[in-house]
Structure 1
């Protein structure tokens, strides 16, 4: 089911006020300011929908992406979403931590996945990119996050050469990952 914004209501043959009335009568659910879904739509993650609707280039990163890839036991208290540096950080109602990543490396390890229960897509960083980001941002995220994710990734058969190829393209990632790999292997 498509999310609906008041400015797009005319495409369905309804005015903004008829959309609001339909919401009050229970035909639509309000996800966030200016974002609605049909009430009978399948269950979906509203935080993901809000992030993808507010920024089409939104990409799940850091702890949220590591949790998605099942490489950490940490449960993020907010959805970590990256957007290119210089972009405007949107106002959101959902618990979203917006991170600004360099434009030159923003697409490194990025893929798009469908949001379950929706026809929207959201970006997601690869496990290698997430591990490299955890190491390069270890001062903010904690030193254990990257190390534990790396240990689990290697246990599952991750290839250190692929990780090092990604880390070499990101600032402040290659050295700490090399040290951690030497200690783990």
Structure 2
């Protein structure tokens, strides 16, 4: 049995409903979300992100959540910022999530993966894409998020050409990116 599994998967493997609930009641299983379980002896992992990854395979950490993963922000977000392709249904999850719908044509630009445990990964936008998104969505996130992330990224040795190359996929943000880089460089 995998570390994290659904009720349906356990039933398909021949585990009875009664046995599954007994394991849960004995503490051998943790409830990750509705119908989603994790073995108690599994390696530590972020249960919120596990639930999101299992419910929405295309889910990708973005904006503040991605910037924190890249050490480009000290913010402690109250919810996970997660992007899905526009038109895709967002699942109901217990985890605190702010869903963002991104254009399917540019959804995979800068998309990498973050390993949550031995079996599960979730999408994560790379640092340049996360910075571009912070500038692109500055009306929602505030301009300081993108400016601070860009400042930190440049101080850590990030190359301006990488940001501009990612920015070419989002032409409306290029002028703001260039202006911010002129001030910082």
Q: Distance in 2 between matches of 1:73 and 1:8?
A: 38
Residue 51 of structure 1 and its aligned partner are, at CA, apart by 0.7
Q: Distance in 1 between matches of 2:18 and 2:167?
A: 51
Residue 151 of structure 1 and its aligned partner are, at CA, apart by 0.4
List alignment gaps of at least 5 residues for structure 1: none
Alignment RMSD, CA only?
A: 1.2
Matches within 5 A, 1:21-40: 21-40=22-41
Q: Distance in 2 between matches of 1:106 and 1:2?
A: 29
Q: Distance in 2 between matches of 1:76 and 1:175?
A: 28
Q: Distance in 2 between matches of 1:172 and 1:3?
A: 41
Matches within 5 A, 1:169-184: 169-184=169-184
- Look up the SS of the partner of 2:162 in the other structure: helix
Residue 99 of structure 1 and its aligned partner are, at CA, apart by 0.8
Residue 13 of structure 1 and its aligned partner are, at CA, apart by 2.5
Distance 1:16 1:118, change over 3 A: farther
Quick check: 76-85 or 9-18, which moved more?
Answer: 9-18
Return the TM-score normalized by structure 2: 0.95
The residue that corresponds to 2:3 in the other structure is 2
- Look up the SS of the partner of 1:4 in the other structure: strand
Q: Distance in 2 between matches of 1:122 and 1:17?
A: 31
Would you say 1:81 and 2:82 are equivalent positions? yes
Q: Distance in 1 between matches of 2:147 and 2:70?
A: 15
Q: Distance in 2 between matches of 1:14 and 1:82?
A: 34
Matches within 5 A, 1:65-144: 65-115=66-116, 117-144=117-144
Q: Distance in 2 between matches of 1:14 and 1:155?
A: 53
Count of matched residue positions in the alignment of Structure 1 and Structure 2: 184
Residue 17 of structure 1 and its aligned partner are, at CA, apart by 3.2
Residue 2 of structure 1 and its aligned partner are, at CA, apart by 2.5
Distance 1:163 1:76, change over 3 A: same
Superposed CA deviations along residues 18-64 of structure 1, whole A, max 9, x for unmatched, are: 21221112111101111101111121101110110001111111001
Distance 1:21 1:171, change over 3 A: farther
Would you say 1:50 and 2:51 are equivalent positions? yes
The question of whether the paired residues in 2 share the 8 Å contact of 1:2 and 1:120 is answered with no
Superposed CA deviations along residues 52-111 of structure 1, whole A, max 9, x for unmatched, are: 000111111100100000001111111111110001111110111111111000000001
